[in-house]
Amino acid sequence: MRVEIKNLSKAWDGVVGADNINLDISDGDLVAFLGPSGCGKTTTLLMVAGIYKPSGGTISFDGQVVNEVAPKDRGIGMVFQSYALYPHMSVFGNISYPLKLQKVDKAGIKQRVQKVADMMGIGDLLDRKIAQLSGGQQQRVSLGRALVKEPQLLLFDEPLSNLDARLRLTMRGEIKRLQSDLGITSIYVTHDQVEAMTMADKIAVMSKGVLQAYDVPEALYDRPKTLFVAGFVGNPPMNFLDVEVTGSDGEFRARSEAIDLVLPPDRAEKAAAIKGKVAMGLRPEDVDLVSDASPGAAGLTLGGMVEGVEPLGREDLVGVSINGVEMRVLVDKTKGVKVGDNIELAVDTSKIQLFDKETEQSLLWA
Amino acid sequence: MTTTEIAPPLPPVGLLPKAREKMGRRFAYGFLILSILPILVGYAWLIIATVSFRTEGLLPRNAEGGIGGFTLRNWDFVTDAAIWNAMFNSLLIALAMVIGVGIASTAGGYALSRMKFAGRKGFLSMTLVLHAFKAEMLLIAIFFVLRWLGDIPIIGNFIGFNSVGGVALVMIALELPLGIWLMKGFFDNLAWDMERAALIDGASRFRVWWQIMLPQVRPGLAALSLFTFIAGWNAYLVPFTFTIGTKVANMPVFLNQLISDTAPTNWNQVAAVGLFQMIPLLIFFIFTQELLLNIYAGGSKGS
Amino acid sequence: MRTFGLLEKGDISLTKPLDSDVPDVATGFRRPQRSALGRRFRATVTAYGFLGPAMALVLVFFIVPGILLLILSFTELSSANFNDPWSYIGFDNFSRLFTDRFFPKILRNTFFYVFTTLILFNLGLALLLALVTTNMPRRAGFFFRLVWLLPRLTPSVVYILMWRRIGQADPFGIYNQLFPEFLGASGGNLFLGGSPWTFVILTNGFIGASFGMIIFTSALESIPKDLLTAAKVDGASLWRIIRDIKIPLIKWPLLFISTYQTLSLLTSFEYILLLTDGGPGLFTTEVWALTAYKRAFASYAGNSQWAFGATWAIVLVTVALILAVGYVKMFKFNELIEEPRIENL
Ligand SMILES: Nc1ncnc2c1ncn2[C@@H]1O[C@H](COP(=O)(O)OP(=O)(O)OP(=O)(O)O)[C@@H](O)[C@H]1O
Ligand SMILES: [Mg+2]
């Protein structure tokens, strides 16, 4: 099912939940709503579900405006972070509830519930009470309850954030597979960007009720259009340095008191037109440790002192002070970087991002 | 970078010197025992009195003034049909109240807690303000209302003046402000997501209330029912004011008639009837203590 | 829409014939749509449906009687002229009330009674009992609260009878027997002689305290244990924990009980009626509500002055209303009301 959200807003006297959101979701896609806590993800989702009434704007399913359609008539299924299972009913009772309300006959209910439960891997738990299930099992029941009525749109509100890291990983894969197998259009709210990146066909990044970006995951990562998106997408987050970009004779340089880097022309051209400082973004993974600090590589490397090392397993997250400016970079663990070391970093300048500090818009991707 | 400071030694955790703690505990128990002394003494007397000829202080006395005088004479009333009739009426009123208050409070409390509609805030304030109208003050006016209700053909006989139904209706109404307020408190504590899930699953609001929400507030409803039952069972002022004669008298009214009809009043018999009236409650009380003590868990939600 | 592989077609029987006929494509889904106004209207009707039973009862037994009370206070209806049409006499009843010789005394009594009982028992003792009983082993606390609930189970007549026996003159009084020469015991009647107010307040307080005790207890028990542990680790003494953590966290029940009990006390008189009947002597322990009751139902020479009783009642109800609204405003009850988190129906 196609979902179109047009100029959607929600405010409770004074508090803004969602501000003029515009989104088109293609049939069968899984779209992730990603953003920091309190940015309006749940608010938007609940408006799509029909639980909240929009203050302005419209929501359409397949071209039909559904603002005034009751939640039960929208043909949606929803999975909640808290699972929201009915504790006084058994697993069977929970999954069959939507069908009972549709007055499906007894045999039909049994058959469909069993089928969905088997699909969820909880076929043998149907007689259990909810309190007798683990968190992961509860989440499967909740997913089953959402699926059993064959919804045309699935809504997920941080469904995995109450699970432990390992289970989250498994469930993530299962949900994604199920969703694409069944081809149900889905909206998936999360503040875990790895979840969003791996599962979503498209990601909607939100901040303070405003839709910041809406694009495929790679685009958000490689071509962030705003400072916020650049900073939010990617883990560990992008480093930002205040620099002045100047260009002469086809050579562009990014300079500040701390650094001096040569930039490729295709990246720097627009920034050079700006008088004063711009924000230069550099991902922690886009640097390489240069073994011998030869000064000859001026303009291509940055030298600094290691101030902290966080082992992340395969790599170390290294805090470097470059002439007083802090940066965090990823360095191969085998390099054995220690606090106090003086290191030289080669920068992959073809990956840097540049932003106007005032408008916070990208100077590379309009 | 900040260096990690060496934590100062932790202050002793909850370790009052043993002696002080012991003294504090003794003080607490002492205070509590002192506080329930009048209650204990009162009930001790009550029990002694019901099986004595006469009492002086806590001592039973016989006709000659010596200690003794054990008798079951005070309990003769149990063979009187009137008291069983009164007990039946008490039961009727109490049950009607449990049902009436239960339905009206859970429905009203649910709407006020969970639904958005014009006039909600007004109603919420009103349930608080309604506590200003106590039964005691409205008796005169309710008297007229009941007489008018009694003039309604057919059903008037069951809900008018001098009918058990009328008394029950008045009592239900007067319990409502508290009942609604308490039930609203219980509903306030329920998760929104569960209700949202049910609505998305296809339930109507009525169904959500009945099938999903009511089961969650069962402990609260049970406790409210219990307190309502007690209020109905022991109701005196309203039944006394709105009934005439013994046919529709409930237990407390019966008890009062006993006091005013017999001269001189046999107080020991009054005590026995009173204890008799309490017995069903006490039995109930013992079996439902846990519930009884939980009633306000919802109504007292912290801000 | 792509194929919906969950179930094969014909696998199940849908009850809605429309849905099963139409191929399972997006356009086949029926979504009944109403106008925005229609939906708002429906939602409101549903809400009032839920409130219906309560509203009907409130209307019949609160609003109508309230208005009647007001009307009555302008008439001279009594049990003597009960069958005559009501005759309007203007503000006579009110001027009679406010010029009553004992009006100031009754007013003083009422305020003394209400606020002393409220502060000492219905709030003070209730809070103390809740704090103490939640600070001891569960079973012990449980036992004391159970005993404290007993008075509530006791028929009022018998409850008062117990207190009368406690305070009676020799040789019947229990207090006089247990403490012959102690704390004001003189062998005489304590509630009609010695200290009637003490007894009036005790009898009412013992009932009132248990209500607050239970509310406060459950509020205290719902405070997360982590908070208390954190405070202890921070080195807070028992007293500081009570003052800085427990009391602020049960603010809402405290406010509710203050409001509720003020109004209850203001209009209650049953126990006073049974214990002292306003005596000893003239209006010593007479409170406003008792006067209203006596004027209306138990007045001179068998003639119940209903209208005059109604006047006392309506003035008291007005005072209670003003207090209630005052409390609602003062404690900002409205700000504690949460907006429902389901809006669209
Ligand atoms: N019913 C409501 N009444 C008033 N304000 C609300 C309501 N619901 C949400 N808000 C506010 O709207 C904003 C967005 O809330 P929302 O729940 O949509 O955030 P979220 O993105 O889902 O955050 P999280 O990741 O923490 O769940 C917040 O500031 C929140 O306080
Ligand atoms: Mg959320």
Q: What average pLDDT score do residues C199-224 get?
A: 85
Cβ–Cβ below 8 Å for C51 and B111: yes
Cβ-based neighbour number of residue A309 at 10 Å: 17
How far apart are the C-alpha atoms of C92 and C73, rounded to whole Å?
9
**Does C31 touch chain A if contact means CB atoms closer than 8 Å?**
yes
Our answer on whether the CB atom of A39 is closer than 6 Å to any ligand 1 atom is yes
3-state secondary structure chain A: CCEEEEEEEEEECCEEEEEEEEEEECCCCEEEEECCCCCCHHHHHHHHHCCCCCCEEEEEECCEECCCCCHHHCCEEEECCCCCCCCCCEHHHHHHHHHHHCCCCHHHHHHHHHHHHHHHCCHHHCCCEHHHCCHHHHHHHHHHHHHCCCCCEEEEECCCCCCCHHHHHHHHHHHHHHHHHHCCEEEEEECCHHHHHHHCCEEEEEECCEEEEEECHHHHHHCCCEHHHHHHCCCCCCEEEEEEEEEECCEEEEECCCCEEEECHHHHHHHHCCCCEEEEEECCCCEEEECCCCHHHCCCEEEEEEEEEEECCCEEEEEEEECCEEEEEEEEHHHCCCCCCEEEEEECHHHCEEECCCCCEECCCC
Q: Is the pLDDT of residue A32 over 90?
A: yes
For tokens 């203590």, name the residue: B289
Our answer on whether the CB atom of A15 is closer than 6 Å to any ligand 1 atom is yes
Our answer on whether the CB atom of A303 is closer than 6 Å to any ligand 1 atom is no
With contacts defined as CB-CB under 8 Å, which chain C residues touch A66? 31, 33
Higher pLDDT, C82 or A282: A282
Nearest to C213 by CA among C291, C305, C121: C121
Least confident of A266-275, A324-333, C115-124: A266-275
Our answer on whether the CB atom of C341 is closer than 6 Å to any ligand 1 atom is yes
How far apart are the C-alpha atoms of A257 and A244, rounded to whole Å?
10
**Does C339 touch chain A if contact means CB atoms closer than 8 Å?**
yes
Which residue of B117, B130, B241 is in closest CB contact with C47?
B117
ipTM of the complex, rounded to two decimals: 0.85
**Does A51 touch chain C if contact means CB atoms closer than 8 Å?**
yes
Least confident of B2-6, C78-82, C170-174, C193-197: B2-6
**Coil, strand or helix at B7:** coil
Nearest to A150 by CA among C342, C344, B195, C26: C26
Residues 6 or more apart in contact with residue B95 via CB below 8 angstroms: B229, B232
> Distance, CA C301 to ligand 2 centroid (Å)?
72
**Coil, strand or helix at B50:** helix
Cβ–Cβ below 8 Å for A104 and C4: no
Query: How near does any CA of chain C get to the CA of B140, in Å?
Result: 7
Check residue A140 and give its pLDDT.
92
How far apart are the C-alpha atoms of A146 and A77, rounded to whole Å?
4
Q: Is the pLDDT of residue A275 over 60?
A: yes
With contacts defined as CB-CB under 8 Å, which chain A residues touch C345? 70
For B99-150, the DSSP string reads: HHHHHHHHHHHHHHHH---TTHHHHHHHHHHGGGS-HHHHHHHHHHHHHHHH
Cβ-based neighbour number of residue C9 at 10 Å: 10
Q: Whose CA is nearest to atom 13 of ligand 1?
A: A17
Q: Which tokens in the block code for residue C161?
A: 């009878």
**Does C130 touch chain B if contact means CB atoms closer than 8 Å?**
no
* φ/ψ bin of C235: left (φ > 0), alpha (ψ from -120 to 50), beta (otherwise): left
With contacts defined as CB-CB under 8 Å, which chain A residues touch C24? 150
Q: Which tokens in the block code for residue B22?
A: 């012991």
Q: Which tokens in the block code for residue A156?
A: 């997920």
Q: What average pLDDT score do residues C326-345 get?
A: 78
Let me know: does C46 contact C280? Beta carbons within 8 Å.
no
| C164 and C48, same domain (yes or no) | no
Phi, psi of B280 (to 5 degrees): -60, -40
> Distance, CA C255 to ligand 1 centroid (Å)?
29
Exposed/middle/buried for residue C219 (C-beta within 10 Å: 0-12, 13-18, 19+): buried
Query: How near does any CA of chain C get to the CA of B147, in Å?
Result: 12
Q: What is the CATH number of the domain that holds C190?
A: 1.10.3720.10
| C49 and C141, same domain (yes or no) | no
| C247 and C295, same domain (yes or no) | yes
Q: Which ligand is nearest to the CA of A80?
A: 2
User: What's the average pLDDT block by block, 10 residues per block, for chain B (303 residues)?
Assistant: 46 58 84 87 84 72 70 77 87 92 95 88 84 77 85 77 84 90 86 93 93 89 85 86 77 82 75 86 77 52 35
| C59 and C197, same domain (yes or no) | no
Write out pLDDT tens, residues A161-199: 888 888 889 889 999 999 999 999 999 999 888 899 999
How far apart are the C-alpha atoms of C37 and C46, rounded to whole Å?
14
Q: Which ligand is nearest to the CA of A36?
A: 1
Our answer on whether the CB atom of C339 is closer than 6 Å to any ligand 1 atom is yes
Question: How far is Cα of residue A276 from the mean position of the Cα atoms in its chain?
Answer: 32
Check residue C16 and give its pLDDT.
34
Q: Which atom of ligand 1 lies nearest, measured to the CA of A40?
A: 18
Cβ–Cβ below 8 Å for C2 and A67: no
The DSSP bridge partners found for residue B149 are: none
Q: What average pLDDT score do residues C86-107 get?
A: 78
Q: Which ligand is nearest to the CA of A41?
A: 1
How does DSSP classify residue B9?
A: P
* φ/ψ bin of C340: left (φ > 0), alpha (ψ from -120 to 50), beta (otherwise): beta
| C187 and C219, same domain (yes or no) | yes
Higher pLDDT, A88 or B259: A88
Q: Which atom of ligand 1 lies nearest, measured to the CA of A45?
A: 18
Q: Which tokens in the block code for residue C186?
A: 């003189």
| C60 and C106, same domain (yes or no) | no
Query: How near does any CA of chain C get to the CA of A286, in Å?
Result: 40
Whether the CA torsion A330, A336, A342, A348 is positive or negative: it is negative
Query: How near does any CA of chain A get to the CA of B200, in Å?
Result: 5
Edge-to-edge strands, sheet with A15-25: A15-25, A3-12, A56-61, A64-65
Cβ–Cβ below 8 Å for C47 and B120: yes
> Distance, CA A124 to ligand 1 centroid (Å)?
38
Cβ–Cβ below 8 Å for A76 and B200: yes
Nearest CA in chain B to C41: B117
The DSSP bridge partners found for residue A310 are: A317
| C158 and C47, same domain (yes or no) | no
Q: What average pLDDT score do residues C114-124 get?
A: 92
Higher pLDDT, C100 or C32: C100
Show the domains of chain A with their CATH numbers. 3-232 (3.40.50.300), 239-290+297-355 (2.40.50.140)
How far apart are the C-alpha atoms of A106 and A119, rounded to whole Å?
20
Let me know: does B182 contact B112? Beta carbons within 8 Å.
no
> Distance, CA A46 to ligand 2 centroid (Å)?
10
How far apart are the C-alpha atoms of B214 and B207, rounded to whole Å?
10
Which residue of C4, C32, C36 is in closest CB contact with A150?
C4
| C51 and C155, same domain (yes or no) | no
With contacts defined as CB-CB under 8 Å, which chain C residues touch B142? 61, 65
| C141 and C192, same domain (yes or no) | yes
How does DSSP classify residue B13?
A: S
Nearest CA in chain B to A149: B201
Cβ–Cβ below 8 Å for B255 and C260: no
Least confident of A23-27, B112-116, C229-233: C229-233
Nearest CA in chain B to C179: B57
**Does A118 touch chain C if contact means CB atoms closer than 8 Å?**
no
How does DSSP classify residue B220?
A: H
Write out pLDDT tens, residues C213-229: 888 887 787 777 888 88
CB pairs under 8 A between B and C: 332
> Distance, CA C265 to ligand 1 centroid (Å)?
43
Q: Whose CA is nearest to atom 20 of ligand 1?
A: A38
Mutate to test the interface with C, among B133, B241, B251 (most CBs of C within 10 A): B133
Write out pLDDT tens, residues C44-74: 888 899 999 999 999 998 889 888 888 888 8
Within 175-214 of A, beta carbons closer than 8 Å to C belong to 181-184
Edge-to-edge strands, sheet with A315-322: A287-290, A342-347, A301-311, A315-322, A325-332
**Coil, strand or helix at C241:** helix
Is-cis flag, bond preceding C224, omega within 30?
Answer: no
C280 part of a folded domain: yes
**Does A129 touch chain B if contact means CB atoms closer than 8 Å?**
no
Candidate of A42, A82, A210 to mutate for ligand 1, largest count of ligand atoms within 8 Å of Cβ: A42
* φ/ψ bin of B255: left (φ > 0), alpha (ψ from -120 to 50), beta (otherwise): alpha
C200 part of a folded domain: yes
Q: How many domains does chain C have?
A: 2
How far apart are the C-alpha atoms of C244 and C283, rounded to whole Å?
44
Give domain B80-293's CATH superfamily: MetI-like (1.10.3720.10)
Higher pLDDT, B241 or C30: B241
| C52 and C164, same domain (yes or no) | no
Q: Whose CA is nearest to atom 12 of ligand 1?
A: A17
CB pairs under 8 A between A and C: 89
With contacts defined as CB-CB under 8 Å, which chain B residues touch A49? 196, 200
Check residue A292 and give its pLDDT.
61
Q: Which tokens in the block code for residue B282?
A: 């006490």
Nearest to A330 by CA among A279, A260, A283: A283
Q: Which amino acid is at C291?
A: T
Which residue of A103, A150, A184 is in closest CB contact with C15?
A103
Within 88-127 of C, beta carbons closer than 8 Å to B belong to 125
Cβ–Cβ below 8 Å for C30 and A53: no
Chains contacting B (3 or more CB pairs within 8 Å) = A, C
Q: What average pLDDT score do residues C258-274 get?
A: 86
The DSSP bridge partners found for residue B178 are: none
Q: Which amino acid is at A361?
A: Q
How far apart are the C-alpha atoms of A337 and A283, rounded to whole Å?
19
pLDDT range class, residue C28, cuts 50, 70, 90: very low
Mutate to test the interface with C, among B45, B67, B126, B136 (most CBs of C within 10 A): B136
Cβ–Cβ below 8 Å for A108 and C345: no
**Does C343 touch chain A if contact means CB atoms closer than 8 Å?**
yes
Let me know: does B92 contact B164? Beta carbons within 8 Å.
yes
Domain ranges, residue C54: 34-73
Helices (H), chain B: 18-50, 81-114, 120-129, 135-151, 156-159, 164-188, 192-201, 205-207, 214-216, 218-233, 237-242, 251-261, 267-287, 289-292
Q: Determine what percent of chain C is predicted with pLDDT higher than 70.
A: 78
| C168 and C274, same domain (yes or no) | yes
C27 part of a folded domain: no
Q: Are strands A56-61 and A3-12 parallel, antiparallel or unpaired?
A: antiparallel
| C244 and C203, same domain (yes or no) | yes
pLDDT range class, residue C100, cuts 50, 70, 90: confident
